[in-house]
Structures are given as C-alpha cells and as structure tokens.
Amino acid sequence: MTDGLPTDYGLDPRRVDPEYDRHGGFPVFDAADPGPGFGRFLAAMRRLQDLAVSTDPSPEVWTDAADRVEALVGELEPFLAAEGVGPANRVPSLPGAGSLLMPPWFVDKFEPDGVALRVRFSRFHVGGNHAVHGGVLPLLFDSVFGMVIHAAGRPISRTAFLHVDYRNVTPIDTELTATGWIREAEGRKAFVNAELRDPEGTLLAESNGLMVRLLPGQP
C-alpha cells in the first residue's frame, strides 16, 4: 500500500517494451523529487479548488483573494517548463502522483492481473446535488486503464474508446474503490474493464474500453 504509485511505476518503459523507440510512445519521464514544499502546495491547491466553488464571501474578500492568486501566478510563471520537466504527475510518493488533474488517489494493488486504488472526490468535483459530475468519472477510468496497461507490462498504448455505465450516484467526501483489469488481449489491442464502488461494495459506475499499442511514429 502506498500514498501514490508503486516504486516501480516510473521504470524506463524500454525495460517493459524493447521496441519502445520504434513506435512513437510517450517521452520517458523520470520520477521527480521537488522537495516537501511541493506536497504542501498540492494539498493547499486542492483545498483552494474546493473553496473556490463552495464559498460566498463579500466582494472585498474576492478582490483580496484575486490579488493573492495573481501574485502567486506571477511568482510561478517565470518557471514554466516543458511537459515532463515540472514535477506534476512525476512524484510517485504523492497522492495522484502529484497531479491536480485528478482527485487524490492511493494505490493498493498494482499487479499484472489488475490494479486497485482508493479515491476521494470533493466539492470541486460536484456536478449537482452533492454528486460527482458524470464527466469526471471517464477521466478516472481512463487513468485506471493506463495503470492497468503499465502494470500488465504491455507496450505503450492509447485509448481507442471508453464507455461508461452509471449505476448509482457517486458521492463526494467518501473513500471509494476503483479497480481495473484486462479482459482480453489480441495483438496490439487490450480490452480493459474497470469498476468504481462505495465502502459497502455498491457498484457506482463501470467502464470498458480498448487500449491500442502505438505504431511507429504515432505520438
């Protein structure tokens, strides 16, 4: 069990796929070690996202908050970096690997026969009536599919299609379990399934998709 990803998640993909350099693929991103301040920054940003969509202060407070956020933007903007250079999504020890794109998740299983992770949505992800926005769940499932492919040791792949069935309302502020596995594989194709369940085991949503290994030159 880990706060982020297994320590072997960031291994050079060439160890898994000897033909990596012959078919486009993603750039090789090494794990980053930005220091403890980055973890604090992510936690504060997640809380700020929640507050940005759930508070109703006076106009003066909004003005003051805007000044502070704009100042922070000015502090960080000189350090813009290319993809794979900044630490976001490259810190396996942090929840969600250090990315704000997804809610924080924690990996419990990362094996060739499947993956399992805990995820907690918050106010920022609400679509209405305290339920997680339906459009957020495909994003979660697509991330699970990528983990499944990596854990199974398959070559670098992209999502060809992803289908979601919504079975029950997905709650916020509740630790949920997402699991994923390869249903079958044929050549370049891997048909992947995933589920999201609440603490009582109730199925909230399920997904199936197709992951296809990249051909030479495909980005």
67-121 pLDDT, tens digit each: 999 999 999 999 999 888 899 988 988 999 999 998 999 999 999 999 999 999 9
Helix (H) or strand (E) run with residue 63 in it: helix 59-76
**CA 55/CA 48 separation, integer angstroms:** 10
Q: Name the nearest CA neighbour of 53 among 128, 112, 141.
A: 128
Q: Give the number of residues written for the chain.
A: 219
Beta strand pairing call for 189-197 and 203-213: antiparallel
Query: For residue 123, what pLDDT is reported?
Result: 96
Domain ranges of the chain: 13-213
Class level of CATH domain 13-213: alpha beta
Query: For residue 12, what pLDDT is reported?
Result: 55
Q: Where does residue 20 fall: left (phi above 0), alpha (psi -120 to 50 degrees), or beta otherwise?
A: alpha
Query: Per the structure block, which two tokens stand in for 186?
Result: 């044929």
Task: List, as own/partner pairs, every contact residues 111-116 make where C-beta atoms lie below 8 angstroms and the sequence separation is at least 24, other chains included.
Answer: 111/151, 112/151, 112/152, 112/153, 113/152, 113/181, 114/148, 114/151, 114/179, 114/180, 114/181, 114/182, 115/144, 115/147, 115/148, 115/151, 115/179, 115/180, 115/181, 116/177, 116/178, 116/179, 116/180
Query: For residue 92, what pLDDT is reported?
Result: 87
Work out the number of other CB atoms within 10 angstroms of the CB of residue 2.
Answer: 16
Q: Could you say which DSSP state residue 154 is in?
A: P
Q: Residues 84-99: pLDDT tens digits?
A: 889 998 898 899 999 9
Query: Exposed, middle or buried, 196 (CB in 10 Å: 0-12/13-18/19+)?
Result: buried
**CA 118/CA 179 separation, integer angstroms:** 9
Q: Residues 122-152: pLDDT tens digits?
A: 999 999 999 999 999 999 999 999 999 989 9
pLDDT category of residue 205 using cuts at 50, 70 and 90: very high
Helix (H) or strand (E) run with residue 191 in it: strand 189-197
Decide if 114 contacts 178 (C-beta within 8 A).
Answer: no
Residue 170, SS3 per DSSP: coil
Helix (H) or strand (E) run with residue 75 in it: helix 59-76
